[in-house]
Amino acid sequence: MSRKRTTCPYCGVGCGIAAVSTGRRNIIVKGDTAHPANFGRLCSKGTHLGETTGLEGRLLYPEISDERVNWDEAIALVAERFSSTIAEYGPDSVAFYVSGQLLTEDYYVANKLMKGFIGSGNIDTNSRLCMASAVAAHNRAFGEDIVPCSYSDLEKADLILLVGSNTAWCHPVIWQRIEKARQERGTKLVVIDPRRTETAECADLHIALKPDGDIVLFNALLAEMRARGKIDETYLAAHVTSPESFWERLTGGPADAGIDEDAFIALADLASAVPKMVTLFSQGANQSACGTDKGNAIINLHLATGRIGKPGAGPFSITGQPNAMGGREVGGLASTLACHMGFSDEERAVAQDFWKSPGIAPGPGLKAVDMFRAVHEGRIKALWIMATNPAVSMPDAGFVREALNRCDFVVLSDVIAKTDTAAYADVKLPALAWAEKDGMVTNSERVMSRQRALLAPPGEARPDWKIVADVAWAMGHGEAFDFAGPADVFREYCAQTTCHNNGRRLLDLGQWAAMSDADYAEWQPQSWGGASPFAAGRYSTPDSKARLVAVAPPETAAADKDYPLRLNTGRYRDQWHTMTRTGLSPRLSRHRGEPLVEIHPADAAARDLADGDLARIATPNGESIFRVLVTDSQRPGEIFAPMHWTDQMSGGGRTGRLTDSRVDAVSGQPAFKDCAAEIERV
Ligand code: SF4
């Protein structure tokens, strides 16, 4: 029996797990009572992790064209094809599409190879689909991608606004902490969401705004707070700069957000009554064509009222994946060079000097949607996908499949043998899964925790960082990728965070750059940046002041007579992404065993639809069949469908084929929450 403290591989809450391996690939999972994210709590997904560690469906050996080969052959082919493509077409003809499931060490090595040694910015992560708009909003407001809060702020706040978050289902342990705070100290809860979700059902106030009504709502709320004398002029003068005519540009009223005056006044009354307010925002805010502006509208409210950098106050982006934060810290997004550095000449020189690399990416690479567009157009000719399933999870997944089909050379490193994406891979490389690999993850509150191996590597699977390093060696970059293990990689990453530090940026992990292997092995969860990184009122901008950003609501799209409904998408409580892991647990499938389309009774009646009917959702991108759930939790004119089902499963529910690839112009994050659609009975 082996006992270890590890971290849940699902959502960005990053719960600690006390795991016991019984020696037969069985793991007994309990919440880690000492972990600051969860203090022993787990949700249904984490609790049933032990049911998902079998070898059923695993990719265990390298394959070329679906034939088993040895590692040397596979690595040699990947290195040769990437090298020859770069030699003929240049560095930007290749790309990596990676994942928030990767550990920090995996991310670091992949980013180093692409941006430092291949010399292209073309590495992007599926975190682009999750929180890229929050990253962009942080950068605009704070000068750095910093989350200003910690979970403990939820227990100190008097008022919590949840924006675009079905927290009770999607971040259940945060929800448990919120509920406990409400019971113990009477914290008020407002949910701002077009749907009356399970979370909204429990709120003191539900603001059922129209899709993308967030900007006008938060602008109106800020104007109302000003009218009520709630602006913190002292904080503004000392710590914030405002663009010209900022206050005059706060136009629009609650009706423009699709809500009535009474609900708005109730919200303003709550926000005026107490200074300790946390606004938690998630995919409903981020997955939008105006997601970055939504983030800044929320941050503006906190900056202008001085509700940031203090206990129980701040705008708080929560992420979907366990290491979405670690990936963005090392440079896993195409828009960042490394360690929160951008692509200025100075920053590029710093990174190149640190890596001692032959070149450096000249600028940002292609973000996820643009990356697959470039694959489709033949501009990217070799693509390496790591730990993700874009043939299902990208918007307009039918287009993505066409792109993969056209691509000259597709490599997939993954733990599952037959994903929808695997069907397009020329080379498949078996990677270690949760409970088999060692490394670091950063959760939504900047706490870095260890995932630890409890199980022996199955078949010939290897850690992702090692696979990338082996390819780098075979491409001729050997010494720079001579890592003895994940601790070695982590130390190098920590050292790199110190190189860029010009006295402004907060990401500085230098204290761990010389950590011993033993200390790495014994690592206890700890935060970087402290519980409240902006407590001193200093931001990472040249003048150390935060920025108010003037944001305007988006233009309302003209109604489409063929697709008059708006399709919103999201998660189920007990499933995760494309169900490659949670689908292995029979108990998790009991909650909702099939994909349902939720529709308002008036829209259902107009289409002669009843509960339990099968109906086809059609959008300009594709169509798929769902079972109907008629519910007044939907606003009229809007439908909702889950994101999890894939072509690998029988039946319908292919939401990925329906969504379109409109993106936020700043962040490149797709607008998964709002797509023109129609539905009909089949
Ligand atoms: Fe895992 Fe998230 Fe559930 Fe915690 S809340 S147990 S991190 S899925």
Q: What is the pLDDT of residues 185-209, one digit of tens each?
A: 999 999 999 999 999 999 999 999 9
Q: What is the pTM assigned to this prediction?
A: 0.96
Atom number of ligand 1 nearest to Cα 17: 6
Residues 6+ apart with CB under 8 A from 415: 58, 59, 387, 430, 431, 432, 433, 461, 580
CA of 249 to the centre of ligand 1 (A): 40
pLDDT tens across 23-47, in order?
Answer: 788 899 999 999 999 999 999 999 9
Instruction: Choose which residue among 33, 43, 588, 591 to substitute to test ligand 1 binding: the one with the highest number of ligand atoms within 8 A of its C-beta.
Output: 43
CA of 373 to the centre of ligand 1 (A): 33
CA of 418 to the centre of ligand 1 (A): 26
Question: Which pLDDT score, from 0 to 100, does residue 434 have?
Answer: 95
Instruction: Choose which residue among 11, 41, 170, 434 to substitute to test ligand 1 binding: the one with the highest number of ligand atoms within 8 A of its C-beta.
Output: 11
Burial status of residue 229 (CB atoms within 10 A of its CB: 0-12, 13-18, 19 or more): exposed
Atom number of ligand 1 nearest to Cα 37: 4
336 pLDDT above the threshold of 70:
yes
- Residue pair 644/578 in contact by the 8 Å Cβ criterion: yes
Burial status of residue 340 (CB atoms within 10 A of its CB: 0-12, 13-18, 19 or more): buried
pLDDT band per the 50, 70, 90 thresholds, residue 569: confident
360 pLDDT above the threshold of 90:
yes
Write out the two tokens for 627. 């079972």
CA of 12 to the centre of ligand 1 (A): 7
Write the DSSP assignment of 483-525 as a string of letters: -SSHHHHHHHHHHHHHHT--SS-----GGGTT--HHHHHT---
Residue 630: phi, psi to the nearest 5? Answer: -85, 125
CA of 224 to the centre of ligand 1 (A): 37
651 pLDDT above the threshold of 70:
no
CA of 590 to the centre of ligand 1 (A): 18
pLDDT band per the 50, 70, 90 thresholds, residue 432: very high
Question: Which pLDDT score, from 0 to 100, does residue 185 have?
Answer: 94
Q: Give the residue with greater pLDDT, 555 vs 294.
A: 294
Atom number of ligand 1 nearest to Cα 46: 6
SS (H, E, C) 260-300: CHHHHHHHHHHHHHCCCEEEEECHHHHCCCCHHHHHHHHHH
pLDDT tens across 607-634, in order?
Answer: 999 999 999 999 998 998 999 999 999 9
CA of 323 to the centre of ligand 1 (A): 12
Mean pLDDT over residues 535-551, rounded? 96
d(CA 249, CA 547): 15
CA of 169 to the centre of ligand 1 (A): 10
Atom number of ligand 1 nearest to Cα 13: 7
Q: What is the mean pLDDT of the chain?
A: 94
Mean pLDDT over residues 357-372, rounded? 97
Amino acid found at 667 = S
Atom number of ligand 1 nearest to Cα 47: 6
Amino acid found at 448 = M
CA of 284 to the centre of ligand 1 (A): 19
Closest residue CA from atom 4 of ligand 1: 15
592 CA to centre of own chain: 23
CA of 368 to the centre of ligand 1 (A): 26
Instruction: Choose which residue among 42, 177, 321, 585 to substitute to test ligand 1 binding: the one with the highest number of ligand atoms within 8 A of its C-beta.
Output: 42
Mean pLDDT over residues 653-675, rounded? 90
256 pLDDT above the threshold of 80:
yes
CA of 477 to the centre of ligand 1 (A): 38
CA of 13 to the centre of ligand 1 (A): 6
Question: Which pLDDT score, from 0 to 100, does residue 648 have?
Answer: 64
Question: Which pLDDT score, from 0 to 100, does residue 650 have?
Answer: 58
Atom number of ligand 1 nearest to Cα 322: 7
Instruction: Choose which residue among 6, 8, 177 to substitute to test ligand 1 binding: the one with the highest number of ligand atoms within 8 A of its C-beta.
Output: 8
Instruction: Choose which residue among 5, 15, 174, 444 to substitute to test ligand 1 binding: the one with the highest number of ligand atoms within 8 A of its C-beta.
Output: 15
CA of 458 to the centre of ligand 1 (A): 25
What residues flank ligand 1, with Cβ below 6 Å? Answer: 8, 10-11, 13-15, 38, 42-43, 45-46, 171-173
CA of 460 to the centre of ligand 1 (A): 29
Atom number of ligand 1 nearest to Cα 171: 5
Atom number of ligand 1 nearest to Cα 38: 4
Q: What percent of the chain has pLDDT over 90?
A: 82
CA of 143 to the centre of ligand 1 (A): 30
- Residue pair 365/128 in contact by the 8 Å Cβ criterion: no
CA of 544 to the centre of ligand 1 (A): 35
All structural domains of the chain: 2-52 (3.30.200.210), 63-126+341-418+427-436+450-527 (3.40.50.740), 132-321 (3.40.228.10), 565-681 (2.40.40.20)
Among the ranges given (79-93, 114-128, 592-606), the one the predictor scored with the smallest mean pLDDT: 592-606
CA of 11 to the centre of ligand 1 (A): 5
CA of 396 to the centre of ligand 1 (A): 28
Mean pLDDT over residues 291-302, rounded? 98
Question: Which pLDDT score, from 0 to 100, does residue 595 have?
Answer: 85
591 pLDDT above the threshold of 80:
no
CA of 572 to the centre of ligand 1 (A): 13
Closest residue CA from atom 2 of ligand 1: 11
Question: Which pLDDT score, from 0 to 100, does residue 482 have?
Answer: 97
Atom number of ligand 1 nearest to Cα 576: 8
Q: Which residues pair with 622 in a beta bridge?
A: 619
Atom number of ligand 1 nearest to Cα 172: 5
Residues 6+ apart with CB under 8 A from 54: 25, 584
Question: Which pLDDT score, from 0 to 100, does residue 303 have?
Answer: 98
Instruction: Choose which residue among 39, 171, 199 to substitute to test ligand 1 binding: the one with the highest number of ligand atoms within 8 A of its C-beta.
Output: 171
Q: What is the ipTM of this complex?
A: 1.00
Burial status of residue 389 (CB atoms within 10 A of its CB: 0-12, 13-18, 19 or more): buried
Q: What angle do CA 263, 265, 270 make, to 5 degrees?
A: 100
Instruction: Choose which residue among 13, 33, 319 to substitute to test ligand 1 binding: the one with the highest number of ligand atoms within 8 A of its C-beta.
Output: 13
Instruction: Choose which residue among 5, 7, 10, 52 to substitute to test ligand 1 binding: the one with the highest number of ligand atoms within 8 A of its C-beta.
Output: 10
Instruction: Choose which residue among 173, 179, 445 to substitute to test ligand 1 binding: the one with the highest number of ligand atoms within 8 A of its C-beta.
Output: 173
d(CA 147, CA 131): 12
Closest residue CA from atom 3 of ligand 1: 43
CA of 7 to the centre of ligand 1 (A): 9
Sequence-ordered alpha helix ranges (H) in 71-150: 71-89, 104-111, 132-142
